[in-house]
Amino acid sequence: MASPILPALGLGSGLDTSAIVKALVDAEKTPKQSQIDRQTKSNTATISAIGSLKSALAAYKTALEKLNSTTSPQFLAYNATSADEKTVKATAGNGAVGGMYNVKVTELATASKVASQRFGSSADAISEGVLTISQGDQDYTVEIGPNATLQSVRDTINGQVNNKGIMANIINDGTGSRLVLTSTNTGLDSDISVDGIPELKIDGTQQMSGTGAGFITALAKDAIFEVDGMKLTSKSNKVENAVSGLTIDLVAKGETTVTVGTNTEGLKKSVQSFVDAYNTLVKTVTSLSQATKNADGTMGTAPALSGDSAARNMLKTLRDQLVVPAAGGGNLQVLSQLGINTVQETGLLELDSTKFTKAVEVQKLGGGIQALFGGDDGLLTRMTSALDPYSKSGGLLDDRSKILEQAKKSLTLQQSSLDARVTAMTASLTKKYNTMDTLVGKLNAQRDNITSIFEAMAAQSKSS
């Protein structure tokens, strides 16, 4: 029969020395471990909260930049509608005014397209030299090296002047190949000519004939159109100065009507986008910094940034900008005139659609919305600047993150130090109790031995 498994400690004394050692170690470890656990939990939650705050700020700034874009302007007071977009398209800008315009397109602006003389194939050899490509008053030089072919010349031209609005290609008409140059620039006197290498010489003012070089179909020309009977010309089919604040895209020959009217729905969509972006940020900051009430009216668990000065100051910064009057002294000065108000209980914004429509269509405040929100002095720019100390690289939140990461490292070191101290203490106490147990075992053995001697002597005395 196998020997029973006995505990490692307590064989001599009969005491549960393992439990005694654990109790003594826990008494030393628990207070510090609880402190480290508490601080680690708080630190981790705060790091996560700061990360969420930085992400929310970045998203808000992106939304503001989109609304304040100069390439895709928002908050436009008017919009333009063409009765026939296959003939004319129109876009209203900041300077547009309401009205109706008859637009008649007689000619579209065209670009230059020229071809070289005919070659046998794209592999035909081309002389070394400097090719000069002229368009209007601009000259572009292209270095053609030795052993060039028609195809390599095409590639060289595209590599050197493609960004100038001139593109080269090779077209085979069934009897041979030609180098063809096409311009993205339109308008009269923008014809392309080529000189410098004899076999590639092109006079862009002469039409191509037979095997010779020249323009392919027609010379480049201006667009010819009318606005309310007034005859106008343009080098481009995108016309930006014919009607104040209106961009007209000429698409095809024909006649149509362009109507410029109040952009109520477009303005409302832009304003609502701002309100939504603002509310999303406020909700995020609030959820990270303010405890909510439970169903029974008691306060819930305090969030990671509860009472945090950075979160509190950020909200104050946002709200302060909402009440700054618009620069310029126009009729539209504050958001409340557009039906945008702050909900006292939540700090969120709400848009009163009825009041907004009245402000735009009856009070004619739509023209001031761009100035209120956009530009260097507008609300969007001011808010972006006010939040910059928090969101920029090396700003307040970045500094806060660095401090928290340092605290995290310190806590990790404290945990390692505590673990080492607990290990050493456990080993020391175990050794001491092992020694004590061994000593008690020896004493017990001696006691038993002496007892046996006395018992034997007593028994011998009785028997005599």
260 falls in which pLDDT band (50, 70, 90)? very high
Q: Compute the distance between CA of residue 276 and CA of residue 121 in angstroms, rounded to an integer.
A: 62
Backbone dihedral region for residue 147 (phi beyond 0: left; psi -120 to 50: alpha; all else: beta):
left
166 falls in which pLDDT band (50, 70, 90)? very high
**Which pLDDT value is given to residue 10?**
55
**Which pLDDT value is given to residue 464?**
65
Each residue's pLDDT tens digit, 236-247: 999 998 999 899
**Which pLDDT value is given to residue 12?**
61
Percent of the chain's residues with pLDDT above 70: 96
Q: Reply yes or no on whether the pLDDT at 67 is more than 80.
A: yes
222 falls in which pLDDT band (50, 70, 90)? very high
Higher pLDDT, 444 or 215: 215
**Which pLDDT value is given to residue 255?**
97
Each residue's pLDDT tens digit, 369-413: 888 898 788 899 999 999 999 988 898 889 989 999 999 999 999
9 falls in which pLDDT band (50, 70, 90)? very low
Q: Reply yes or no on whether the pLDDT at 149 is more than 50.
A: yes
Q: Compute the distance between CA of residue 188 and CA of residue 185 in angstroms, rounded to an integer.
A: 10
Cα 172 to the center of its chain, rounded Å = 47
Each residue's pLDDT tens digit, 10-63: 556 667 888 888 899 899 899 999 999 999 998 998 899 999 999 999 999 999
111 falls in which pLDDT band (50, 70, 90)? very high
366 falls in which pLDDT band (50, 70, 90)? confident
Can you give the pTM of this predicted structure?
Answer: 0.70
Question: Over the chain, what is the mean pLDDT?
Answer: 89
Each residue's pLDDT tens digit, 81-102: 999 999 999 999 878 888 999 9
Each residue's pLDDT tens digit, 262-312: 899 999 999 999 999 999 999 999 888 887 777 776 777 788 888 788 888
Average pLDDT over residues 199-215: 94
* Burial group, residue 247, by CB count within 10 angstroms (0-12, 13-18, 19+): middle
Q: Reply yes or no on whether the pLDDT at 327 is more than 80.
A: no
